[in-house]
Amino acid sequence: MKLGFLTACMPERTLDRIVPWAADQGFEALEVAAWPALGQRPFTASHLPIPGPDGDTRLGGADVERITGLFRDHGLSISSLAFYDNNLHPDPVERAAVHDHLHAVIDAAAALGCPTVGTFVGRHPGRTVAENLADAAEVFAPLVDHAGRAGVKIVIENCVMEGWHPDGYPGNLAYSPELWEWMFDLGLYLNFDPSHLIWMGIDPVTALRPYVDRIPHAQAKDIQIRPGARDRFGWPGRAVHRPDPWDVGWWRYRVPGRGQVDWAAVVDTLYEGGFDGVLSVEHEDPVWGGTPDRVETGLRIAHSTLRPLLVA
């Protein structure tokens, strides 16, 4: 198992700066942010030229050579390309744009020798879960076929994406083992993140154990619970006054080691199940965020927490 991080926490930097810094800090891999340049969107970044300056959706040969050389020279690998967006977006124009970019990211992963591409199932908030799942079965069939021909696996993070739903309900239909099994039937894989399960009331180790063989990539994010606030708001979070759709009011994400995830148990369960991929830190901690220096400190905290748990 290798330790890496998702580069979206450093949106203001280029890979030319991120890669040597990561190597100097003892990280071994990077999950590279590959969103298109869509302006101000939280927790996203564009660290690959997709599409290129001429509008071509394919990564140019010179770009491939430069990027693979950069990682090789610093002893790092690319664990996954990250484009987490709503593949069931209610606006057909937006949905088509998401699918087009996901195709391009899959092609980029194949060109870079990267084994996985991360995304979300998503949700149409005006439709039932059953209606969304029927829609998703049609949507993902050509995406999975395209990835299979490219030698790439599509991994779905089990993030709830509550901010995508007007009432704070799950906006990404991949939040429970029941939905993971449904995804696996479509040829999708899981990018496992234990933090989301805790606030959903699901024990992450119990949920993880049966499915390790369907997890080619995993993320490391922690969570801090405020039980007293949950007693006021309930599971979906703030309902009456919620100007920020992502502020549920009773929990917040933290870097590993500053929350309630039992990382020793999670890592041990991954090893027991035969996982030998990358554990990628997803830094969305508001305490150790806000400035580049604080983000760096947060990543160092995560490294000091997780590195002793991994077999050298």
Pairing of strands 251-254, 222-225: antiparallel
Q: What's the confidence (pLDDT) of residue 56?
A: 65
Q: Distance (Å, rounded) from C-alpha 62 to C-alpha 95?
A: 30
Residues 9, 23: Cα–Cα separation, whole Å: 16
Asked if 148 and 111 touch (Cβ cutoff 8 Å), the reply is: no
Cis status of the peptide bond prior to 51, with omega within 30 of 0: yes
Per-residue pLDDT of the chain (312 residues; tens, 9 = 90+): 999 999 999 999 999 999 999 999 999 999 999 999 755 567 799 999 887 555 666 688 899 999 999 999 999 999 999 999 999 999 999 999 999 999 999 999 999 999 999 999 999 999 999 999 999 999 999 999 999 999 999 999 999 999 999 888 999 999 999 999 999 999 999 999 999 999 999 999 999 999 999 999 999 999 999 989 999 999 899 999 899 999 999 999 999 999 999 999 999 999 999 999 999 999 999 999 999 999 999 999 999 999 999 997
Cβ neighbours for 194, distance < 8 A, ≥ 6 positions apart = 204, 205, 208, 220, 221, 261, 266
Q: For residues 50 and 60, is the Cβ–Cβ distance under 8 A?
A: no
What integer pLDDT is reported at residue 60 of this predicted model? 81
177 burial class (0-12, 13-18, 19+ CB within 10 angstroms)? middle
What end-to-end distance do the CA atoms of the chain give, in Å? 8
Spatial CB neighbours of 240, under 8 Å, sequence gap ≥ 6: none
Identify the helix (H) or strand (E) that includes residue 232. helix 227-233
- Tell me: the pLDDT tens digits for 256-298? 999 999 999 999 999 999 999 999 999 999 999 999 999 999 9
pLDDT tens readout for residues 220-253: 999 999 989 999 999 899 999 899 999 999 999 9
pTM higher than 0.75:
yes
Name which of 67, 75, 74 is nearest 32 in CA terms.
67
Tell me how crowded residue 264 is: count the other CB atoms within 10 A of its CB: 12
Q: Give the alpha-carbon dihedral of 202, 206, 207, 208, to 10 degrees.
A: 140
CA distance 142 to 290: 39
pLDDT of 203: 98
Query: CATH homologous superfamily for 2-309?
Result: Divalent-metal-dependent TIM barrel enzymes (3.20.20.150)
How many Å apart are CA 18 and CA 47, to the nearest integer? 10
What per-residue string of b and e applies to 110-131 under the rule 16 or more CB within 10 Å gives b? Answer: bbbebbbbbbbbbbbbeeeeee
* Secondary structure element (H or E) that encloses residue 298, with its range: helix 292-306
For residue 281, list its beta bridge partners: 5, 220
- The pLDDT of residue 55 is 61
Return the DSSP state at 46.
Answer: B
pLDDT of the residue at 229:
93
Rounded to 10°, the helix 292-306/263-272 angle is 60
